[in-house]
Amino acid sequence: MYTGRVVFGDMDEVVFGQPAAEAVAAQLDRLHLSRAFLMVSGTLNRNTDEIDKIRKRLGRRYVGSFDAMPAHTPREAVVAAAEQARAAGADIIVTVGGGSITDGAKAVQLCLANDVRIASDIDGIRAVNGVAPVMNAPKVRQISVPTTIAGGEFSAIAGVTNTRTRVKEMLRHELVIARAAILDPAITIHTPEWLWLSTGIRAVDHCVEGLCSREAHPYADAHALKGLSMLAQGLPRVKANAGDLDARLECQIGAWLSMGPLAAGVPMGASHGIGYVLGAMHDVPHGYTSCVMLPAVLRWNKSANAKRQELVSAAMGQPGRDAGDVLDDFIRALGMPRSLQDIRIGPESFDRIAEQAMATPWVPRNPRKIDNPGQVREILVLAA
């Protein structure tokens, strides 16, 4: 008998296929808000007119912006953004950019609500062993315009890097999920190909680890199967023609669906857990961690969930093939890195990576039980 719990997050709307500037303004109208603080991609802000379009459309409702969020969302940048949003008197944060910016705004919401003013104060709001401390709920929420497809805007979890320890820490609160997500494929034209495709594999990773979890259930499966099918079709189309807006939107909707398992309480596994460590310790982009680790994790897990892995191959249009091989071929065809060597991580780092991975929320819930760092090291060797 299935058992589980599906929690519907506090997101009001997902708007897709509409221009970002118009959709953002409409959300402020809907929510009766008047002081929008933008957290945006520095590249978009400096090299395109996309952010200016939003500023102009908001008019007097625009009160400031922050465009200096580095990859992996370091604590110091979160605090700097929070100070600017506080000084501006923001009543809504609008993000335009990738996952680090989206996660940054989630953390900023908690900083504003809990008077976090220096990096070390984040100790008081970070989750420990996946459990968040008691804290004030955010009152300043977020509207998200993602330019990549890792799907973080659909999650109430943020990853923030402690630069002192080089560990990515979890922040979570049910209200940090965006109030609205705006999926505008046109604004993503500026996203570099490697970033679009690799974050697409991150979304594939959500689908695959959700499907292969020992805690999977039909509601989550429905999202993951459709999302995986859309991503498997859409990503090669964008690779072939960067201007194909229909394919880009297909990828965006696939990424949205990929977050269904997490939203429905299905945990991720070792690919995500090891990926947390590779990002924080070695500054590997999130998408690349999934490109490198996911096929290896599938192969290591196959003795425990071969039947579930058959769903992965079928959803990707290759029923009957080994899922690890299907993912390996798919990622290679997109031109993404496929080994730890490709991202310049050698065996001398494996023991430390394995130790830290054991402390992540996902490795202990991997479908094939992982009891010790030596087993994580086995996966790393498969990915070498």
**Is the confidence at residue 4, as pLDDT, over 80?**
no
Residue 124 is part of which domain span?
13-185
pLDDT digits over 99-118, tens only?
A: 999 999 999 999 999 999 99
- Angle (nearest 5°) at CA 156 between 231 and 129: 110
32 and 133 share a domain?
yes
181 and 220 share a domain?
no
252 and 220 share a domain?
yes
Instruction: Answer yes or no: is 138 within a domain.
Output: yes
41 and 100 share a domain?
yes
229 and 142 share a domain?
no
pLDDT value of residue 370: 98
pLDDT digits over 209-254, tens only?
A: 999 999 999 999 999 999 999 999 999 999 999 999 999 999 999 9
pLDDT digits over 7-34, tens only?
A: 888 999 999 999 999 999 999 999 999 9
184-194 mean pLDDT:
98
281-294 mean pLDDT:
94
36 and 151 share a domain?
yes
Instruction: Answer yes or no: is 294 within a domain.
Output: yes
Instruction: Answer yes or no: is 7 within a domain.
Output: no
In which band, very low, low, confident or very high, does the pLDDT at 378 lie, cut at 50, 70 and 90?
A: very high
Rounded to two decimals, the pTM is 0.94
125 and 227 share a domain?
no
Instruction: Answer yes or no: is 8 within a domain.
Output: no
364 and 246 share a domain?
yes
180-189 mean pLDDT:
98
Instruction: Answer yes or no: is 147 within a domain.
Output: yes
98 and 199 share a domain?
no
82 and 230 share a domain?
no
148-168 mean pLDDT:
93
pLDDT digits over 64-77, tens only?
A: 999 999 999 999 99
140 and 73 share a domain?
yes
pLDDT value of residue 229: 98
